[in-house]
Amino acid sequence: MSDTTLPLLLEPEALEPLLGTPNLLLVDLSRADIHVQYHIPGAVHLEYNQIVRMAPPVGGLLPDEAQLNAVLSAIGLTPDSHVVAYDDEGGGKACRLLWTLEALGHTRYSLLDGGLHAWANEGHELTREPTQLIPSRCTVQFITGGVVADTAYIMNHLGDTSHALLDARTALEYRGLQRYAVRGGHIPGAINFEWTEAMDQERNLRLKPAAVLRRQLEGMGITKDKTVVAYCQTHHRSAHTWFMLKWLGYQAKGYEGSWSDWGNREDTPVEN
């Protein structure tokens, strides 16, 4: 299976006949108690906390290469694997895995559109049978100039018309009325686009049609000539926003640490 075989956004009905295909690595980032009750046949479970690192008060950082190699080896990732990720929350955790893979240069991946909601609600096969893990020897490393933005990168591009910032938090967080860091508010110039705005609530949390999302983003000045940096509190919700942007053809990055980094520093400017 090559990296061009499957689309970036994969529909449940397209995945179902592929179950059991060699090199298809189906990864479930749902809660562990949900996975035990039911999951897609052949899916391996991955705990979200294994792909993020905490350095209080900052959360949502990338683990080092050694930890990621251990985690990805445990689930059987190889250079030939095409990863299809899903979760039970609309895609935030699954997209964080995909963003991490992209940061490591592994571009053979897809998001299951609608995740477990779409799969289960539309009558596709589920099982309680544990998936036999076949570990690999994964040796990945971060690539430079990729999809990861840090504080220095954003500071260097504040006011740069070639860049845009998309804040995936709630309007209350964006305005500083709900605070999960020492300081509240948002990065100067950032535009608020709550991550759930991209979800179609009538279609089992699938992404809204591309034309609808493009029109909405362009109406806010988020145009395809800009590099767009997505952030939230810990780059969990905004990983979904990053994926949406990538799917729409934008040059996109994700800010690891996000507001838990920016809002807990003393050397970063804040708007309310």
Structure tokens at 132: 């036999």
State whether the Cα torsion 236-233-103-191 is positive or negative: positive
C-beta separation of 242 from 199 below 8 A: no
**No. of helices (H) and no. of strands (E), the chain:** 10, 14
HSE-CB of 204 using CA atoms within 13 angstroms: 17
SS3 of 4, please? Answer: coil
Structure tokens at 87: 């979760």
Phi, psi angles (nearest 5°) of residue 249: 95, 15
What CA–CA distances, in Å, run from 110 to 56, 107, 123, 218? 31, 9, 21, 25
SS3 of 245, please? Answer: helix
> E strand or H helix at 244, and its extent?
helix 237-247
What CA–CA distances, in Å, run from 93 to 48, 97, 99, 100, 234? 7, 7, 10, 11, 11
Of 111, 232, 244, 245, catalytic: 232
**Tokens 């089992």 belong to residue:** 204
HSE-CB of 187 using CA atoms within 13 angstroms: 32
SS3 of 37, please? Answer: helix
Query: Residue 95 and residue 53: Cα distance in Å, rounded?
Result: 16
95 is catalytic: no
Chain center to CA of 126: 24
**Which positions are catalytic?**
232
